[in-house]
Amino acid sequence: MQGGAVVVTMVCGIGHELTKMERTVMSVNPQIVHRFAHVVKEPMRVRIILALAEGTKTVNELVAGMGLKQPTISNHLRVLTDNNMVKRRRAGRQAYYSLTTKKIVRALDAVMRADVAMLASRGK
């Protein structure tokens, strides 16, 4: 983990005590952050995640709530499922979708709050 030590020195400098945020940021795998950002850069996927945060839904329920066609919703669900953000449960001919973890919503919330803060600081 020599690369991590280099990052600590570059980010914090020698002798600087790490803040909780700095320790958290450095402990995150950059590939996971990149994958998360890539998946949620599509606004419709964010809408699907937020809809599923309310509870398990079928494709038809998502279609009705979002006003898009079923193939479009299904394609976005496939991307979310392939990236382990959403899980699918089959019951007969029906498929039910839910979030794999509520941490996904918390991560989105953090990104949205950071974006609002950055936009607000630009106006100053």
User: Phi and psi for 89 in degrees, rounded to 5?
Assistant: -125, 130
19 pLDDT more than 70: no
Mean pLDDT (whole number) for 12-29: 57
- Which residues are 45's β-sheet partners? none
Q: Which two tokens stand for residue 111?
A: 């990104």
- Which among 43, 59, 61, 41 has a CA at the least distance from the CA of 95? 59
User: Phi and psi for 98 in degrees, rounded to 5?
Assistant: -150, 165
Percent of the chain at pLDDT exceeding 90: 47
Q: Could you tell me the strand order of the sheet in which 94-99 lies?
A: 57-58, 94-99, 86-91
For residues 106, 102, 57, 66, the Cα torsion angle rounded to the nearest 10 degrees is: 10
Q: Which two tokens stand for residue 41?
A: 């850069």
pLDDT tens digit string along 40-79?
Answer: 899 999 999 999 999 999 999 999 999 899 999 999 999 9
Q: Can you list the domains of the chain with their CATH numbers?
A: 42-122 (1.10.10.10)
Model pTM score: 0.71
Q: Which two tokens stand for residue 120?
A: 């607000």
13 pLDDT more than 60: no
**Average pLDDT over all residues of the chain:** 80
